[in-house]
């Protein structure tokens, strides 16, 4: 089997050399690809000196890097890992084994189960963000994935070549998790150790800016994957607000045959119109999404048939 280690990088000259060396030691048969995302330091030079295949990605953002990696690289097994030396190369064999055994299409390196993430991570808001996104996805998509946003993952070719990457930034991990859940890919989590960045190495993840982007992406993905639930919530809220504003107007009309609260009446009608339109949008989009799912299932079947024939 051809194994590819995918390392998206941006200004990681302090750690990229060790990352490449570690994975060469643990997976000597693998090709290691370092995609340099406009680094302003010696990331590319060091990676190349250590024996990695270096590719430039000029569109800024981790999602753009992953999109290019998935499109360009042909392999049977893929391992994606950050270039900041926070994930152990020693876990690589354990990560790819479920792929080899056919037990998983995507393996998730779970940083949270064994407690090392909470011991090593020095950014408390990152803990809060991880738990918030994990809780929201668990609520909205009914799953038990423990580490939604880990950057350490393994995939088979089937997943990589059928995954539509739409995100351009750090939302990519959330997008991959939701896509895999929605399309019923086989998932497995492997507990891994986590270590914080070495001194002098700075995270490119902005707690609040990128946190907002992840939450926005989660809302957008919820709307796209489950439109009936999304617009159902809008319908329910609008309907309840319409009742709250409109019931006093109705009581007044029943008692006096006259409406003095004209603005309230107009507002109530507006809320009810929004509720009806949202319900109609939800029904229409839900039908479209179900048809797209059927077409995607047929596409996956054709892809497997073509892969078998090859």
Examine the pLDDT at 310 and tell me if it is beyond 60: yes
Residues 141 and 112 in one domain: yes
Last residue of a domain, one of 196, 223, 250: 223
Residues 287 and 188 in one domain: no
Last residue of a domain, one of 223, 250, 278: 223
pLDDT in tens, 10-65: 999 999 999 999 999 999 999 999 999 999 999 999 999 999 999 999 999 999 99
Give pLDDT, residue 264: 92
Backbone angles phi, psi at 240, to 5 degrees: -65, -40
Q: If you average pLDDT over residues 69-91, what whole number do you get?
A: 95
Q: Which residue has the higher pLDDT, 217 or 287?
A: 287
**Distance (Å, whole) CA 11 – CA 29:** 27
pLDDT in tens, 162-173: 999 988 888 898
Residues 202 and 240 in one domain: no
pLDDT in tens, 176-203: 998 998 899 999 999 999 887 776 666 6
Residues 215 and 269 in one domain: no
Residues 66 and 201 in one domain: yes
Give pLDDT, residue 146: 84
pTM here is 0.82
Residues 239 and 195 in one domain: no
Among residues 41, 29, 30, the alpha carbon closest in space to that of 9 is found at: 41
Give pLDDT, residue 125: 53
Residues 170 and 299 in one domain: no
Residues 34 and 166 in one domain: yes
Q: Across the chain, what does the average pLDDT equal?
A: 89
Give pLDDT, residue 139: 74
Give pLDDT, residue 283: 96
Q: Which residue has the higher pLDDT, 257 or 237?
A: 237
Domain harbouring 65, CATH code: 3.90.550.10
Give pLDDT, residue 157: 95
Give pLDDT, residue 141: 75
Give pLDDT, residue 127: 60
Last residue of a domain, one of 202, 223, 244: 223
Q: How many CB atoms lie within 10 A of CB 94?
A: 15
Give pLDDT, residue 130: 65
Residues 155 and 58 in one domain: yes
Examine the pLDDT at 4 and tell me if it is beyond 70: yes
**Distance (Å, whole) CA 242 – CA 245:** 5
Give pLDDT, residue 201: 61
Residues 173 and 289 in one domain: no
Give pLDDT, residue 54: 97
The residues with which 110 forms a beta bridge, in sequence order, are: 191
Domain of residue 71: give its range.
3-223
Q: How confident is the model at residue 147 (pLDDT cuts 50, 70, 90)?
A: confident
Give pLDDT, residue 187: 94
Give pLDDT, residue 19: 96
Residues 128 and 73 in one domain: yes
Exposed/middle/buried for residue 41 (C-beta within 10 Å: 0-12, 13-18, 19+): middle
> Domain total for the chain?
2
Examine the pLDDT at 294 and tell me if it is beyond 90: yes
**Distance (Å, whole) CA 153 – CA 104:** 11
Residues 32 and 68 in one domain: yes
pLDDT in tens, 83-138: 999 999 999 999 999 999 999 999 999 988 876 665 556 565 556 666 677 777 77
């Amino acid at each position: 089997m051809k194994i590819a280690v995918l390392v998206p990088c941006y200004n990681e000259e302090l750690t990229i050399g060790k990352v490449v060396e570690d994975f060469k030691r643990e997976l000597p048969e693998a090709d290691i690809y370092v995609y340099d995302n406009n680094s302003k330091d010696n990331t590319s030079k060091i990676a190349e000196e250590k024996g990695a295949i270096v590719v430039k990605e000029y569109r800024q953002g981790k999602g753009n890097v992953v999109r290019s990696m998935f499109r360009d690289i042909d392999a049977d097994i893929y391992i994606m890992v950050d270039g900041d030396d926070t994930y152990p190369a020693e876990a690589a064999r354990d990560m790819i084994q479920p792929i080899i055994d056919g037990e998983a299409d995507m393996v998730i390196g779970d940083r949270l189960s064994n407690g090392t993430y909470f011991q090593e991570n020095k950014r408390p808001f990152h803990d809060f963000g991880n738990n918030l996104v994990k809780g929201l996805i668990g609520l909205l998509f009914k799953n038990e994935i423990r580490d939604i946003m880990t950057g350490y993952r393994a995939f088979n070719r089937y997943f990589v070549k059928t995954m539509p990457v739409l995100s351009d930034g750090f939302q990519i991990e959330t997008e991959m998790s939701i896509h895999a859940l929605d399309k019923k890919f086989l998932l497995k989590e492997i507990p891994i150790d986590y270590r914080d960045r070495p001194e002098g190495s700075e995270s490119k993840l902005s707690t609040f800016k990128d946190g907002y982007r992840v939450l926005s992406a989660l809302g957008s993905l919820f709307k796209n994957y489950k439109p009936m639930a999304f617009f159902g919530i809008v319908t329910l809220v609008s309907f309840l607000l319409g009742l709250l504003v409109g019931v006093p107007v109705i009581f007044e009309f029943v008692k006096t045959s006259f409406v003095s609260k004209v603005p309230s009446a107009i507002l109530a009608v507006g809320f009810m119109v929004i509720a009806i339109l949202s319900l109609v949008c939800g029904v229409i989009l839900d039908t479209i999404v179900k048809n797209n799912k059927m077409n995607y299932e047929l596409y996956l079947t054709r892809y497997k048939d073509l892969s078998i024939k090859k």
